[in-house]
Structure 1
């Protein structure tokens, strides 16, 4: 099978160009397709990806696309498990969010967009994804015998020793991976990529993930929740505070797991919170090219920065 075999017949031919963009963490292949004067994105599932999970994710992606929350779907090849969607030129939500002139508009739009995600119908046969259980799985399984800095061990143990505050909200369909790389801003709308981990979730989880990756202070978190609920928040709910800590810890632990998969040697014994760059400093080093995600050192540094961040929350 060639990549072009996954395209609809009218987009195949000598003038069609296919360029590999990336390989997702799941092993999926992602390609840009230029054909018939238009650009598309083709994503082909890896052979290891569970077929039932793939079908559930495509169902949710269709719901999101129909609601204007994901790029338009042009073609689905169920046999080859390939999806062709519109190529959306990304005008950078992070730049929109960081610009003082547009920051408040970006924050309000982000809150409303998450609310729209959570308004999508919950598939009846889906099981809730429990981030705390996933953290335990990674920590006690994949990282059990990996050399880690003492402060990262303390960060994980802190979260796992806490009793989660009771949730007062019903489960919603959560995206569950709202890191900035999955946000595409076309100049008007925020669209979400990669719906593979979408599942029933506590609504605070998506909001907490955004608050961590976008380095929101307390006031910004309050305005995000206010935009989400369309009512003013004057203090952060205990459940949100806990979930934000959990989200930062899980994200950091996941990055350390990826670093190990890429053959990172682990801790040297010299790593401390003071010697570890903050999340903001990590982003600066990444933008300068000093660190790169997708490498063992990049994933390691990202994981340490996120776990350092979790200790401050």
Structure 2
């Protein structure tokens, strides 16, 4: 050990952190300890370099969990080979140390149908992890989000109105109470999907619990699957034998996922402004095909109000466009008939 931790880690955690590092690395030289994230949530994440090899240390609230313990979830995901290898876990101290992944943007490594296959394999691996703790009811969660969105009046007009109208159709058609549930990550956005050049790794398991398998599939697809050929490869890899019900339910869930992320982005953006702030209500011309490249190039950031608000608008526009198609209506009919 060679660093003075007093200026790096919280003072009341230094002793348990020192013990964790000693138990994990022995007499290895700790040359770096850098805060990667922290401040807004209960957990802080650090990059630790021991004998010139990087690791990740996550500090969570000690003694904070009973059921749905994130320490148990990450241990199971690591054992399944989908979360980075785990080196230390102490629930009482609230400390996890795992392998650091030198991330290469997955789109720079894989493309087209190969990317679709790799992502479907990753989702399938998540869904085979044995776990029994359920989360909140998905329909109730969405209803709560939409109620908050409506109450705060962040965005109004024809597009939000149409979005809510179309969602009412989904509510009466989607098989919310299907008992075929799996261990789901529930937040498979690009920042939680890492690639070391060969292997796909999934991080940030705090919101994982038993849920509808189509939520993870839809979340991944909305960020990475753009063509019919990609969609076909994605579903074929996951289901092996694909039928019209799989395709229809997947398509409807893609719109549900867009609504969820749109509302969350808009709510997050609103938190950055005073309650009486006059948000720009213009929806015309704000589409994913335009906003996506801006986010990818760094010209627009999801860490800013502007990025969050524009992305929320684009997601809602996309959901409404898709929900006003014949394919969407046909999918709802099939789901209603099947149910």
TM-score (norm 2): 0.79
Name the residue aligned to 2:3. none
Q: Deviation at 1:226?
A: 0.5
Determine whether 1:79 maps to 2:87.
Answer: no
Determine whether 1:140 maps to 2:147.
Answer: yes
Name the residue aligned to 1:107. 116
Mapped to 1, the partners of 2:109 and 2:154 lie a distance apart of: 39
Unmatched 5+ residue regions in structure 1? none
Name the residue aligned to 1:62. 75
- Give the alignment partner of residue 44 of structure 2, picking from 3, 6, 29: 29
Name the residue aligned to 2:219. 209
Change (3 A) 1:203 1:9: closer
- Give the alignment partner of residue 16 of structure 1, picking from 6, 11, 31: 31
Verify the 8 A CA contact 1:138 1:253 in the aligned structure 2: yes
Determine whether 1:52 maps to 2:66.
Answer: yes
- Give the alignment partner of residue 293 of structure 2, picking from 276, 284, 292: 284
Verify the 8 A CA contact 1:115 1:228 in the aligned structure 2: yes
Mapped to 1, the partners of 2:240 and 2:179 lie a distance apart of: 15
* Larger Rg, first or second structure (1 or 2): 2
Q: What's the CA shift string for 1:160-190, capped at 9, x where partnerless?
A: 3422333777111111111111111112211
**RMSD in angstroms over aligned alpha carbons?**
2.7
Verify the 8 A CA contact 1:138 1:257 in the aligned structure 2: no
Verify the 8 A CA contact 2:116 2:233 in the aligned structure 1: yes
Verify the 8 A CA contact 2:194 2:201 in the aligned structure 1: yes
- Give the alignment partner of residue 241 of structure 1, picking from 251, 256, 262: 251
Q: Deviation at 1:234?
A: 7.0
Mapped to 2, the partners of 1:275 and 1:13 lie a distance apart of: 55
Q: Deviation at 1:246?
A: 0.3
Change (3 A) 1:28 1:152: farther
Q: Deviation at 1:142?
A: 5.8
Name the residue aligned to 1:267. 279
Determine whether 1:223 maps to 2:233.
Answer: yes
Aligned residues: 302
Name the residue aligned to 1:118. 127
Determine whether 1:152 maps to 2:160.
Answer: yes
Name the residue aligned to 2:56. 41
Q: Deviation at 1:9?
A: 4.0
Mapped to 2, the partners of 1:246 and 1:24 lie a distance apart of: 30
Verify the 8 A CA contact 1:112 1:228 in the aligned structure 2: yes
Mapped to 2, the partners of 1:225 and 1:46 lie a distance apart of: 38
Q: Deviation at 1:307?
A: 1.1
Determine whether 1:294 maps to 2:294.
Answer: no
Name the residue aligned to 1:127. 134
Name the residue aligned to 1:256. 266
Moved more, 20-29 or 286-295: 20-29
Verify the 8 A CA contact 1:148 1:266 in the aligned structure 2: no
Structure holding more helix per residue: 2
Q: Give SS of 1:184's match.
A: strand
Q: What's the CA shift string for 1:78-131, capped at 9, x where partnerless?
A: 23312111101112212234x4xxx322211221221111111122xx124433
